[in-house]
Amino acid sequence: MLKTVNAGARLDRLPTSAFHRRILWLIGGGMFLDSFDIYLAGGVLGALTRSGWSNIQLNANFLTATFVGMLIGALTAGVLGDAKGRKFTYQFNLAIFGVASLAGAVAPSMNWLIVCRFFMGLGLGAEIVVGYGSLGEFIPPAVRGKWSAYLSLITNSALFFSTLLGYLIIPTIGWRPMFAVVGAGALIVWVVRKKMPESPRWLESKGRLQEAEQILAAIEAETVAGGQALPPVVVPPPVVPKTTTLLNLFAPPLLRRTFLGVCVQVCINIVIYGFIVWVPTFLVRQGFGLASSLGYTTLMSLGGPAGALLGVLLADRIGRKNGLIVVSFIAAVVGFLYSHSHSVEMATALGFVLFTLTYLLVALGIATYVPELFPTENRLRGNGVAGAAGRIAGIFAPQVVVAMYALGGIQDVLSVIVGAMVVLVVALVAFGLETNQRSLEEIGQTQD
Query: In CATH, what number is assigned to the domain containing residue 137?
Result: 1.20.1250.20
Query: 234 lies in a domain?
Result: no
Q: Are 436 and 448 in contact (CB under 8 A)?
A: no
Which among 256, 260, 380 has a CA at the least distance from the CA of 325? 260
Residue 239 has pLDDT above 80, yes or no: no
Residue 246 has pLDDT above 70, yes or no: yes
For the chain, the farthest-separated pair of C-alpha atoms sits apart, in whole angstroms, at 72
Q: Are 372 and 135 in contact (CB under 8 A)?
A: no
Residues in the chain: 448
Which among 187, 188, 186, 162 has a CA at the least distance from the CA of 175? 162
Query: 1 lies in a domain?
Result: no
Query: 58 lies in a domain?
Result: yes
The residue that leads in pLDDT, 384 or 302, is 384
Mean pLDDT of 85-96: 90
Mean pLDDT of 161-168: 84
Per-residue pLDDT tens over the stretch 366-396 = 999 999 999 999 999 999 999 899 888 877 8
pLDDT for residue 199: 96
Minimum mean pLDDT among 210-219, 338-347, 420-429: which range? Answer: 338-347
Q: Are 334 and 303 in contact (CB under 8 A)?
A: no
Domain count, the chain: 1
The full DSSP string for 215-254 is: HHHHHHHHHHHTT---PPP---SPPPP----GGGGGSTTT
* Range with top average pLDDT, 155-159, 289-293, 303-307, 417-421: 417-421
pLDDT for residue 244: 78
For 89, the domain range is 7-225+246-445
Per-residue pLDDT tens over the stretch 70-87 = 889 999 999 999 999 999
Residues 6+ apart with CB under 8 A from 140: 11, 12, 13, 14, 15, 16
CA geometry: angle 240, 245, 251, nearest 5 deg: 95
Residue 294 has pLDDT above 80, yes or no: no
Omega within 30 of 0 (cis) for the link into 232: no
pLDDT confidence tier of residue 290, bands split at 50, 70 and 90? low
Query: 199 lies in a domain?
Result: yes
Q: Are 62 and 41 in contact (CB under 8 A)?
A: yes
Q: Are 255 and 249 in contact (CB under 8 A)?
A: yes
The residue that leads in pLDDT, 42 or 432, is 432
Q: Are 178 and 47 in contact (CB under 8 A)?
A: no
pLDDT for residue 284: 65
Residue 208 DSSP class: -
Query: 327 lies in a domain?
Result: yes
pTM of the predicted protein model: 0.87
Residue 199 DSSP class: P
- Which is it for the CA torsion 239, 242, 247, 253, positive or negative? negative
Mean pLDDT of 317-329: 94
Scored b (16 or more CB within 10 A) or e, 158-172 reads bbbbbbbbbbebbee
pLDDT for residue 285: 64
* Range with top average pLDDT, 280-284, 320-324, 347-351: 320-324
Work out the mean pLDDT of the chain and round it to a whole number. 88
Q: Quick count: other Cβ atoms within 10 Å of Cβ 403?
A: 13
Query: 237 lies in a domain?
Result: no
Query: 240 lies in a domain?
Result: no
